[in-house]
Structure 1
Amino acid sequence: MPDLLTVEGVSAGYGKAVAIQGIDFSLRAGGAMALLGRNGVGKTTLINTLVGVTTFKGGRIVLDGRDITKLSPERRAAAGIGWVPQERNIFVSLTVEENLTAIARRGPWDVARVYKMFPRLHERRKNMGNQLSGGEQQMLAVGRALMLNPKIILLDEPLEGLAPVIVDELLAALRRIVTEEHLTAIIVEQKARKILPFTDQALILQRGTITHRADSAALLADDAVLESHLGV
């Protein structure tokens, strides 16, 4: 399948500071990438740069054949980028269902389909965002991104701080989104062994640059690289 996302020589940061530099990769339509690295190496900055909320220093970002480098975050979302940030950013004063419908775009993902993916959200559909557990808020953040009917979904440490039972539920949903729904995805995660089994390729960042790239299956089997680059 053709590449959906192409990133060429991208450098970015915050203000005058450069946090990532010379980033090059491509991701085919329907593919999934694990974005790995220790804390503070630039993973979130790279995701934020794709979304358009950093200070861009150079390079080029092409989504589905369209150069989106100079587009605002809102126009990038309209172009097909779905985002699940670390902070989740759900609307705490709206119900679950209102969160899902407030920014929905027409397409195959609708409320019923999100509820099928996350039955807990259906059970809590009349609850306000601030009445949900951390895990339920994360499910809502993913569901809300799906309601945008994106071409690609970017997930920034979706398993962070969640109880083991919720981690298992969310992992099962992410696996379905990637392997059954074939939604193109980039997943940032500290728990590399959790997401490598259902992604296609992996990038490891160190000090703002890509230091290792491999097929996910090959990296999962390479204990030496996992230990040296990630300490796992």
Structure 2
Amino acid sequence: MAEELLRVEALKSGYGQAVVVQGVSLVLEKGASLALLGRNGTGKTTLLNTLVGATRRHAGRIVLDGQDISTLPSFKRAIAGIGWVPQERNIFKSLTVEENLTAVARPGPWTLARAYEMFPRLAERRRNLGNQLSGGEQQMLAVARALVLNPKLLLLDEPLEGLAPIIVEELLRSIGRVVRDEGMSAIIVEQNPKLILPITQRAVVLDRGAVVHEGDSEALLADPDTLDKWLAVAGH
């Protein structure tokens, strides 16, 4: 029986008085990866933001590796083991690639050398400032920076959005390696299920802030009716 890493219980959260996430419960085991799917505006980003402590929690609990982190501020959740790559990437634009990585690195298997091996483009541009990188390179840097934190749980919020197809392929390969071969526990928000389901084990679909489908990624990928119903992707 795999050990539990994350337990989310009846979570309600949002911004101010507005409740976006409507009582979500889910469990993620150690070494497992989860695709978090849903149309635009269904609460995917809000759920991730709630896990990292960037929203207002109205009810429910978040337990990470046996520790209740529901009331912890964001920086303490990072210390507890959450590595987060938000849509905005939040890299340090005025620091070099190498400084971006060494500024946050914590002891563990993911070292600077391993980050460069995963993303050779970053090794080539290690002396470049964050604002001298392309969008794709900035995204690679954001992912690498989360990895060198050596987190227990990696949260990726639409890591492929707005990137050139060749970069999407490269990033997908890297993320697939991290979650499949290296066994990093991860929750990945993505608009396109066809891209993300092949590299994750489990899938959760949100609609109006609630879980409407939960199951095996492979089974969902092979189920055009469910994909079409909640994600309108059958024709893609």
Match of 1:34? 35
Identity percentage of aligned residues: 64
Match of 2:149? 148
The CA distance in 2 between the partners of 1:61 and 1:89, in whole Å, is 24
What do you get for the CA RMSD once the two structures are aligned?
A: 0.5
1:49 maps to 2:50: yes
Match of 1:195? 196
**DSSP 3-state at the match of 1:125:** coil
**DSSP 3-state at the match of 1:218:** helix
1:228 positional shift = 1.1
- The one-letter code sitting in structure 2 at the alignment partner of 1:100 is L
The CA distance in 2 between the partners of 1:73 and 1:105, in whole Å, is 17
Deviations 1:61-118 (CA, angstroms, capped at 9, x unpaired): 1000111111110000000000000000000000000000111111111110000000
Deviations 1:142-201 (CA, angstroms, capped at 9, x unpaired): 000001100000000000000000000000000000111100000000011111012111
1:131 maps to 2:116: no
TM-score normalised by structure 2 residue count: 0.98
1:1-232 mapped onto 2 (5 Å cutoff): 1-232=2-233
The CA distance in 2 between the partners of 1:200 and 1:69, in whole Å, is 26
The CA distance in 1 between the partners of 2:31 and 2:141, in whole Å, is 22
The CA distance in 1 between the partners of 2:232 and 2:136, in whole Å, is 26
The CA distance in 2 between the partners of 1:228 and 1:180, in whole Å, is 32
- The one-letter code sitting in structure 2 at the alignment partner of 1:194 is L
Q: How many residues align?
A: 232
- The one-letter code sitting in structure 2 at the alignment partner of 1:212 is H
1:214 positional shift = 1.5
TM-score normalised by structure 1 residue count: 0.99
Deviations 1:11-39 (CA, angstroms, capped at 9, x unpaired): 00001100001100000000000000000
1:230 positional shift = 0.4
Structure 1 gap ranges (5+): none
- The one-letter code sitting in structure 2 at the alignment partner of 1:139 is M
**DSSP 3-state at the match of 1:4:** strand
**DSSP 3-state at the match of 2:84:** strand
The runs of at least 4 aligned residues of structure 1 exceeding 6 Å deviation read none
The CA distance in 1 between the partners of 2:112 and 2:214, in whole Å, is 37
The CA distance in 2 between the partners of 1:208 and 1:195, in whole Å, is 20
- The one-letter code sitting in structure 1 at the alignment partner of 2:45 is T
Structure 2 gap ranges (5+): none
- The one-letter code sitting in structure 1 at the alignment partner of 2:102 is T
